[in-house]
Chains A and B, each alone.
Chain A
Amino acid sequence: MSRSLMRAVLCLLLLVIAPGLQAETWGGEPTPDGQPPVPASRLDSTADHREFAELKVPFETGPQVTRACLKCHTEAARQVQENIHWSWDYRQPETGQRLGKRNVINNLCLMVPGNEPRCTSCHTGYGWEGPDYDLTLEENVDCLACHDTTGTYVKFPTGAGHPPLEDRTFQGELIEAPDLNHVARNVGKTSRETCGACHFEGGGGDAVKHGDLDSSLLDPPRSVDVHMSPQGGDFSCATCHEFSGHRQEASRYHINADPQAGIAIPGRRNERPSCESCHGHTPHDPRIHNKLNRHADFIACQTCHVPELARGGRSTKTLWDWSTAGRLDEQGRPVVETNAEGRVTYHGKKGSMEWAEDVPPVYRWFNGNMRYTLPGETIDPSGPVNINTPEGTPRAEGSRIWPFKIMAGRQPYDQVHQTLLPAKLFGPGEEAFWTGYDWDQALAAGVEAAREAGHEDLRFSGEYGFVETRMYWPVNHMVAPAEDSMGCAQCHGQDGRLEDLPGGYIPGRDRHPWIERAGWWAVGGVSLLVLLHGALRLILYRRERRAIWGR
Chain B
Amino acid sequence: MTEVRVFTLFERFWHWAQAAIIFGLLFTGLEIHGTHQLLGYDLAFSTHVVLAWCLIALTAFAIFWHLVTGEWHQYLPSYHGIWPMVLYYTYGIFSGEHKPYTTTPAAKHNPLQRLAYFGFKAAIAPALWLSGLILLFDAWWRGTVVDQVISFAAVAYVHVAATFAMMVFIIAHVYLAATTGHPWYAYLKSMVTGYKEMD
Which residues of A approach B to under 8 Å, CB–CB?
287-289, 291, 294, 297-298, 395-397, 487-489, 492-494, 504-505, 507-512, 515-516, 518-520, 522-523, 526-527, 530, 533-534, 536-537, 540, 544
A492 and B142 contact, CB distance less than 8 A: no
A511 and B34 contact, CB distance less than 8 A: yes
A536 and B33 contact, CB distance less than 8 A: no
B168 and A488 contact, CB distance less than 8 A: no
A508 and B32 contact, CB distance less than 8 A: yes
Task: Report if A518-B142 is in contact (Cβ < 8 Å); known contacts: A487-B42, A508-B33, A510-B153.
Answer: no
Which of B40, B46, B143, B164 makes the CB contact (< 8 A) with A287?
A: B46
Listed A/B pairs (12) with beta-carbon separation below 8 Å? A288-B46, A297-B142, A395-B142, A395-B143, A396-B143, A489-B37, A489-B41, A493-B41, A515-B160, A518-B164, A519-B160, A537-B93
Which of B45, B143, B164, B167 makes the CB contact (< 8 A) with A488?
A: B45
Complex CA–CA separation, A298 to B142 (angstroms): 9
Give chain B residues whose Cβ lies under 8 Å from the Cβ of A515. 157, 160-161, 164
Give chain A residues whose Cβ lies under 8 Å from the Cβ of B130. none
Considering the complex, give the chain A residue whose CB is closest to the CB of B152. A505
A488 and B49 contact, CB distance less than 8 A: no
Which of A508, A510, A544 makes the CB contact (< 8 A) with B96?
A: A544
B154-172: which have CB < 8 Å to A?
Answer: 156-157, 160-161, 163-165, 167-168, 171-172
Give chain B residues whose Cβ lies under 8 Å from the Cβ of A397. 143
Give chain B residues whose Cβ lies under 8 Å from the Cβ of A508. 32-34, 41
Complex CA–CA separation, A518 to B152 (angstroms): 21
B33 and A511 contact, CB distance less than 8 A: yes
Nearest-Cβ distance from residue B137 to partner chain A, whole angstroms: 9
Given contact pairs A487-B41, A515-B161, A527-B171, a sample of 4 additional A-B residue pairs in the complex whose CB atoms are under 8 Å apart: A505-B153, A505-B156, A507-B33, A520-B164
Nearest-Cβ distance from residue B176 to partner chain A, whole angstroms: 8
B139 and A493 contact, CB distance less than 8 A: no
Nearest-Cβ distance from residue B48 to partner chain A, whole angstroms: 9
B175 and A530 contact, CB distance less than 8 A: yes
Give chain A residues whose Cβ lies under 8 Å from the Cβ of B160. 511-512, 515-516, 519
Nearest-Cβ distance from residue A130 to partner chain B, whole angstroms: 48
Complex CA–CA separation, A534 to B175 (angstroms): 8
Which of A297, A526, A534, A537 makes the CB contact (< 8 A) with B168?
A: A526
| Nearest 6 pairs of A and B residues by beta carbon | A519-B164, A505-B153, A488-B41, A508-B34, A397-B143, A489-B41
A523 and B171 contact, CB distance less than 8 A: yes
Q: Using an 8 Å CB-CB cutoff, how does the interface string of B169-191 with A read, 1 for contact, 0 for none? A: 00110010001000000000000
The reply to whether the CB of B10 lies closer than 8 angstroms to some CB of chain A is: no
The reply to whether the CB of B79 lies closer than 8 angstroms to some CB of chain A is: no
Give chain B residues whose Cβ lies under 8 Å from the Cβ of A504. 152-153
Give chain A residues whose Cβ lies under 8 Å from the Cβ of B143. 298, 395-397
Complex CA–CA separation, A291 to B160 (angstroms): 20
B34 and A505 contact, CB distance less than 8 A: no
B50 and A288 contact, CB distance less than 8 A: yes
Nearest-Cβ distance from residue A209 to partner chain B, whole angstroms: 33
Task: Report if A530-B172 is in contact (Cβ < 8 Å); known contacts: A505-B152, A537-B94, A540-B94.
Answer: yes
Complex CA–CA separation, A512 to B33 (angstroms): 11
Complex CA–CA separation, A274 to B39 (angstroms): 35
Give chain A residues whose Cβ lies under 8 Å from the Cβ of B157. 512, 515
Give chain A residues whose Cβ lies under 8 Å from the Cβ of B50. 288
Complex CA–CA separation, A519 to B161 (angstroms): 7
